[in-house]
């Protein structure tokens, strides 16, 4: 297992490893250049038993996310650059590969696990993993913050389009 500093990525990698799913962890320290453009790295190439292989970008979020006004569920924002670069990576890898966003939710309360199919215990914390194809996400994303160049999907639509990550494996 790679020495991952980001706990969400480390939890997802542990999930893959313990599930026996073949994967390659991408070295984030090395930027790739294609056609004189720097592309942001994704996190894993995951080899699926059926269907396309996956180019996975892990997005870690807390579930629920606590704010001054209360609890927020299903946080799903991403940077617009993530979507643009994942689309380019799909082109680079070609047919047989699909870019997906994997939302790794750190469950604040183990009782929240009932809302998910894929729940994994890692370093004494429960994580859940859901996925949505990057192209589908991009099609429905709306600008969240112009200053940060982030986008998100409405919660109801996001929940409708996401699937347990195991359904892609």
| Per-residue pLDDT tens digits for 49-83 | 888 999 999 999 999 998 888 889 999 999 999 99
* Cβ neighbours of residue 45 closer than 8 Å, sequence gap 6 or more: 23, 24, 26, 53, 54, 55, 56, 97
We report the CATH number of the domain holding residue 32 as 3.40.1350.10
SS3 99: strand
The pLDDT, as a whole number, for residue 49 is 87
User: Which of 2-6, 89-93, 116-120 is the least confident region?
Assistant: 2-6
Residue 116 lies in a domain: yes
Percent of the chain with pLDDT over 70: 92
29 token code pair: 């320290």
**Would 54 be classed as within a structural domain?**
yes
Place of tokens 């380019």: 88
Q: What's residue 66's pLDDT?
A: 87
In this structure, the number of other CB atoms found within 10 A of the CB of residue 47 comes to 14
Whether 124 is in a domain gets the answer: yes
> Considering just the CA atoms, what is the radius of gyration of the chain in Å?
16
Q: Is residue 52 part of a domain?
A: yes
Is 53 domain-assigned?
A: yes
State pTM to two decimals: 0.93
Q: Is residue 1, in this structure, part of any structural domain at all?
A: no
d(CA 82, CA 7): 19
Number of domains forming the structure of the chain: 1
| pLDDT value for 36 | 60
* Parent domain of 141: 7-168
In a domain, 45, yes or no: yes
Minimum mean pLDDT among 24-33, 96-105, 155-164: which range? 24-33
% of the chain with per-residue pLDDT over 90? 82
Residue 2 lies in a domain: no
Q: Please tell me the distance from the alpha carbon of residue 31 to that of residue 28, in angstroms, as a whole number.
A: 7
- The predicted pLDDT at position 58 comes to 97
């Amino acid at each position: 297992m790679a020495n991952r500093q980001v706990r969400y990525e480390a939890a997802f990698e542990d999930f893959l490893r313990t599930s026996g799913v073949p994967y390659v962890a991408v070295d984030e320290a090395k930027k790739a250049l294609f056609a004189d453009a720097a592309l942001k790295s994704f996190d894993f190439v995951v080899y699926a038993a059926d269907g396309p292989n996956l180019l996975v970008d892990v997005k870690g979020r807390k579930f629920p996310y606590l704010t001054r006004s209360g609890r927020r569920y299903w946080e799903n924002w991403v940077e617009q650059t993530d979507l643009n670069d994942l689309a380019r990576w799909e082109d680079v890898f070609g047919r047989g590969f699909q870019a997906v966003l994997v939302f790794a939710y750190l469950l604040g309360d183990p009782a929240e696990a009932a809302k998910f199919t894929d729940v994994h215990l890692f370093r004494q914390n429960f994580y859940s993993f859901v996925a949505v194809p990057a192209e589908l996400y991009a099609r429905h994303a709306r600008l969240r913050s112009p200053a940060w160049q982030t986008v998100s999907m409405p919660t109801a639509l996001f929940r409708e389009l996401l699937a347990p990550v195991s359904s892609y494996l």
